[in-house]
Amino acid sequence: MKKSICIALASALLGAAALPAAAKGPVVNHAISEAEVLAAQQAWCKALVDISTTATASGPVAAKALAEKVIDAAYGYQMGAVLFKPTLTTAPQTFRTTREGALAYFVGGNPAYPKDTGFALKGWTKCEIANAAVFITGDSANTMGNVAFTDKTGKVTTVDKTWTFVKDDAGKLRIVVHHSSLPFSGN
Amino acid sequence: MKKSICIALASALLGAAALPAAAKGPVVNHAISEAEVLAAQQAWCKALVDISTTATASGPVAAKALAEKVIDAAYGYQMGAVLFKPTLTTAPQTFRTTREGALAYFVGGNPAYPKDTGFALKGWTKCEIANAAVFITGDSANTMGNVAFTDKTGKVTTVDKTWTFVKDDAGKLRIVVHHSSLPFSGN
Amino acid sequence: MKKSICIALASALLGAAALPAAAKGPVVNHAISEAEVLAAQQAWCKALVDISTTATASGPVAAKALAEKVIDAAYGYQMGAVLFKPTLTTAPQTFRTTREGALAYFVGGNPAYPKDTGFALKGWTKCEIANAAVFITGDSANTMGNVAFTDKTGKVTTVDKTWTFVKDDAGKLRIVVHHSSLPFSGN
Amino acid sequence: MKKSICIALASALLGAAALPAAAKGPVVNHAISEAEVLAAQQAWCKALVDISTTATASGPVAAKALAEKVIDAAYGYQMGAVLFKPTLTTAPQTFRTTREGALAYFVGGNPAYPKDTGFALKGWTKCEIANAAVFITGDSANTMGNVAFTDKTGKVTTVDKTWTFVKDDAGKLRIVVHHSSLPFSGN
C-alpha cells in the first residue's frame, strides 16, 4: 500500500505524462568487485589444502579427481589458455598453458612431465594470503603478494604470487594468469 | 595496539618463516559500480537543470559557457568521439559525434546547425530518471529507461534514453553513448 | 628443417644460456575487433530478413521457431537481461528486458503483449546499416547509426539505432543494448 | 566521382527515404590489440638497454633522469599503484607498488632501499622476449614468458616474466602488473 501511495504522489507531482511507475529494473553486473577477488583467493587456498587432505585420507586417485575439478572450476583453461608459471617448474616445461600441464604440476604422475612430483600432495595444512596490492581493470582483477603454505610439520613456505582473474559468463571468477616464484635468495 | 597484537598472533601461528606482517596494500579499482552509474545519471540531470537556470538568470552566454564545462566533464569527446543521438535532431544532422555538435544541440546559436534551438534552454526545472535496467560489462556501464523533464509550466516531457559510461584515467565516468528518443506514438 | 636452422641460429646468437627456442605460444583474445562488430551487425540484418522470408514461405510457427534461435544466438538474455527498446513499442511495455518480451516484439502472438504484431513479420526483403560511429571500450563495442529496412513493395523505413555488444566465453558477440527509434519528425 | 555514382546507385536502390549517404564515421577503439602488446614489450626492452647505455656514456644522473621518464611513460603508477615484483628484490621490500620503489630498483641510489644497486645499470646490451602465451581480456592484456638480458661480456640472464598492460585515455599501453623471477633452480 505504501508503494501505491508513493506512486500516486509521484504521479501528482509529475503530472499526467509522468514516468511510468516502474519498479527498479534488473541490474546485470559483470565487473569484478574486491570482495569477489578476495573470495576467489581464499577458495584457491582452501582447494589446495583440500587436495592435500584428500591425498592423505583417500590416496592419489581421489586427489587427482579433486584436482581436476578444482582446475576446471578455478582456472580458465576452457577459454583457450592460462598463463601459469608454477613455483617449482623448470625449462623447458616452466610454463603450463594447458590444463594437462597444470594437472601434472598439482598431482604429478604424468610421464610427459617427469619432474612433477605433485605440489598439492605435499601435505599442506594451511594456506594464507597477504596481498601487497590489488588492481581491478574492469574486466580483469590482478593481485600480487605473498602466499604462505604450512605443511604437516609446521614448516612454512612463502612464495611471491601474482594472479589475474576474469569473470566468466556464469559470473564466476577464473584464474587466467598465475605467476608464482620463490623469494630471491639475495645471494 | 590491537593491530600489533594481531600481527604478533599471526606470526606465532605461522612460525618463523611466516608472512611479513604487511599492512593491507593499495586497491586500485577501475571497474564501474552501480552507485557510480546512478550518481553520473543524477549529475547529468542536475547539469541540464543548471544550464536552464543559468540561461534564465544570466543569459545565453553564461549558459553556453556552463554547457561547455558540462560537456567537457560529463562526455567522452576527448576520447575521440561520442555516439550521441539527441532527442530532437533530424537528418542529416541526427548524430552528434563531435563536441561542437553536442554544444549546438544543448544551447543552439551555431549557424552550422541551423535547426538547433537549444534543448537546455527550454526552462527545465526538474529532471528525473527511471531505469528499466542497468548492464555493467566491466569497463563500461549501460543504462536504459525513461527520463522525465519538467518545464516551468509543469509540463512533463518523457523520453526513452540509453547511456553508456566508461571510467576515465582519473576515475570519472564519462558518457560515450547517448541515444534519446520520444516515445513511439503508436499511430 | 627451416625451423631447426632458425632455432640453431638463434641459439648461436644468444649463447649458451639463451632463451629456450620456444615456438610462439597461444594468444587468447577476448577484446572485440571492429571486424567482429561489423559482422555481428550484418548477421542481425540477415537474421531479420530470414525470419520474414520464413514467415512468408513456411508460416508463423516456423518463423517463431527461427526467431527464438536468433534471439538465443544474437542477444545476451542468458546473461541476466538485455536493454532493448524496440522501434515500435509503447509504455508500459516499451522496454523488453526479457527474452519473452523480445520474442513477442519480433513475431507477435503473445497475449501478454497485446500491441505486438511482429516486427519481423512485415515482409522485409533488405536490411542495410550505415554507422555514424563505433566506440569499442575493450570488453564492449557500441555502434550508432541508421538501419534501413526495405519491404516487399520497395518501401524503405529508416530508424536510428544503437547497439552494444559483448563477447561471450565462446568468443561470440552478443547484443546487450539495443535502442531503436523512428527519426524525430521535426514538427 | 566514383563515390557520387555509388551514392546515386544506393539511393536508387533504396528509394526516396533511403539512408543518408553518410561517409563512414569515426571508430574509437580502446581494446588492446596483440600488435600493441608486442610493441609495448619491445619498448620496455629498448628502454632498459637505453638506460644502461646512458649510464655508461653519461653517468648515473642522466641514467636516473631517463629511468624516471621511462617509468612515467611505460608504467601505470599515476593510476594509483603498480603490482611490481622485480627479479632481485627481497622482503620486506619485495613489492614495489610505488614509483619511488620502482625507480630505486632500476637505478639504485636511494637510501630508503639500501639493497638496490640498480638493475638497469648492469650494462645490458640486449633484451629479448619469448612469449609463452598472451591473454587479452578486453581492457587488459597479459603476457608470460622468458626475457633474456645480455650484458657487455655476452653473459645472458634469463628470467620468467609476466606483464599486464592496460590502455590509458591517450591510447597508450601501461604496465600495471610486472612479476619477474629467476628460474627455479630445480635443486
CB A68: neighbour CB atoms within 10 A? Answer: 15
The residue of chain A with its CA nearest to that of B12 is A154
User: Which residues face A76 on adjacent strands?
Assistant: none
Round the average pLDDT of chain C to a whole number and report it.
89
Distance CA B166, CA B171 (A): 9
The residue of chain D with its CA nearest to that of B139 is D139
User: Which residues face C136 on adjacent strands?
Assistant: C141, D29
Q: What is the pLDDT of residues C118-142, one digit of tens each?
A: 999 999 999 999 999 999 999 999 9
Cell of A10: 509521484
Q: What is the pLDDT of residue A146?
A: 98
Mean pLDDT of A116-139: 97
* Helix (H) or strand (E) run with residue C37 in it: helix C34-58
Pinpoint the alpha helices (H) of chain A: 2-14, 34-58, 60-74, 99-107
User: Does D17 or C38 have the greater pLDDT score?
Assistant: C38
Round the average pLDDT of chain D to a whole number and report it.
89
CB contact under 8 A, D148 and C18: yes
Q: What is the model's pTM? A: 0.88
Q: Are C145 and C133 in contact (CB under 8 A)?
A: yes
Which amino acid, one-letter code, is at B27? V
The distance of Cα C117 from the centroid of its chain, to the nearest Å, equals 22
Name the residue among B129, B155, B122, B157 with its Cα closest to residue B49: B122
Minimal Cα–Cα distance from C62 to chain D, Å? 29
D175 touches chain B (CB under 8 A): no
Q: What is the pLDDT of residues A63-85, one digit of tens each?
A: 999 999 999 999 999 999 999 99
Percent of chain C with pLDDT over 70: 87
B90 CB burial (10 A radius; 0-12, 13-18, 19+): exposed
Q: Which residues in B lie closer than 8 A to residue A131 (C-beta atoms)? A: 24-25
Those residues with Cβ within 8 angstroms of residue B44's Cβ, 6 or more apart along the chain or in another chain: B74, B127, B163, B175
Which one is the CATH code of B34-181: 3.40.50.2300, 1.10.3720.10, 3.10.450.50, 3.40.930.10? 3.10.450.50
The pair phi, psi for residue B55, each rounded to 5°, is: -60, -45
Instruction: Provide the ipTM.
Output: 0.88
The residue of chain A with its CA nearest to that of D168 is A137
| Grid-cell match 599492512, residue found | B23
Distance CA C109, CA C98 (A): 16
Q: Are C104 and C116 in contact (CB under 8 A)?
A: yes
Mean pLDDT of D29-58: 97
C24 touches chain D (CB under 8 A): yes
Minimal Cα–Cα distance from B131 to chain A, Å? 6
The residue of D140, D166, D168 whose CB has the most chain A CBs within 10 angstroms, and thus the best one to mutate to test that interface, is D140
Q: What is the DSSP string of chain D?
A: -HHHHHHHHHHHHH-TTPPP-PPP--EEE-SPPHHHHHHHHHHHHHHHHHHHHHHHHH-HHHHHHHHHHHHHHHB-GGGT--EEE-TT--TTS----SHHHHHHHHH---TTSTT---GGGS-EEEEEEEEEEEEE-SSEEEEEEEEEEEETTS-EEEEEEEEEEEE-TTS-EEEEEEEEEPPP---
- The three state secondary structure string of B60-121 is HHHHHHHHHHHHHHHECHHHCCCEEECCCCCCCCCCCCCHHHHHHHHHCCCCCCCCCCCHHH
The alpha carbon torsion through C161, C164, C170, C172 (nearest 10 deg) reads: 30
Q: Which residues in A lie closer than 8 A to residue D84 (C-beta atoms)? A: 144
CB contact under 8 A, A81 and C25: yes
Distance CA B37, CA B166 (A): 10
* pLDDT band (50, 70, 90) for residue A19: low
Estimate the crossing angle of helix D60-74 against helix D34-58, to 10 degrees.
170
Cell of C150: 526495405
The lowest-confidence range among A143-152, B45-54, B85-94, D8-17 is D8-17
The residue of chain C with its CA nearest to that of D137 is C30
* Helix (H) or strand (E) run with residue B49 in it: helix B34-58
D28 touches chain B (CB under 8 A): yes
Q: What is the pLDDT of residues C142-159, one digit of tens each?
A: 999 999 999 999 999 999
CB contact under 8 A, D155 and C19: no
User: Does C4 or C58 have the greater pLDDT score?
Assistant: C58
* pLDDT band (50, 70, 90) for residue A24: confident
Name the residue among D27, B74, B136 with its Cα closest to residue C143: D27
DSSP B138: S
Neighbours of chain B (3+ CB pairs under 8 A): A, C, D
Round the average pLDDT of chain A to a whole number and report it.
89
- Flag whether pLDDT at B16 surpasses 60: no
* Helix (H) or strand (E) run with residue B9 in it: helix B2-14
Q: What is the pLDDT of residue B186?
A: 72
Strand, helix or coil at B160? strand
Strand, helix or coil at B33? coil
User: Does C9 or D182 have the greater pLDDT score?
Assistant: D182
The lowest-confidence range among B166-170, C76-80, D14-18 is D14-18
Give A 136-165 residues with CB within 8 A of chain C: 138-139
Facing residue for A19 by CB, picked from B128, B135, B167: B128
Distance CA C183, CA D77 (A): 46
CB contact under 8 A, A25 and C95: yes
Those residues with Cβ within 8 angstroms of residue C82's Cβ, 6 or more apart along the chain or in another chain: B133, B135, C75, C76, C96, C97, C102, C175, C176, C177, C178
Percent of chain B with pLDDT over 70: 87
Q: What is the pLDDT of residue B34?
A: 96
Q: What is the pLDDT of residue D187?
A: 54
B145 CB burial (10 A radius; 0-12, 13-18, 19+): buried
* pLDDT band (50, 70, 90) for residue B1: very low
Facing residue for D80 by CB, picked from B26, B138, B166: B26
Q: Which residues in B lie closer than 8 A to residue A14 (C-beta atoms)? A: 128, 148, 150, 156
- Flag whether pLDDT at C21 surpasses 80: no
Q: What is the pLDDT of residue D6?
A: 28
Q: What is the pLDDT of residue B19?
A: 52
Cis peptide before D20 (omega within 30 of 0): no
* pLDDT band (50, 70, 90) for residue C3: very low
* pLDDT band (50, 70, 90) for residue C7: very low
CB contact under 8 A, C184 and B184: no
Percent of chain A with pLDDT over 90: 85
- Flag whether pLDDT at D17 surpasses 60: no
Give A 35-64 residues with CB within 8 A of chain C: none
Round the average pLDDT of chain B to a whole number and report it.
89
- Flag whether pLDDT at A12 surpasses 50: no
Neighbours of chain C (3+ CB pairs under 8 A): A, B, D
Distance CA C79, CA B135 (A): 10
Minimal Cα–Cα distance from B94 to chain A, Å? 25
- Flag whether pLDDT at C52 surpasses 60: yes
CB contact under 8 A, D181 and A184: yes
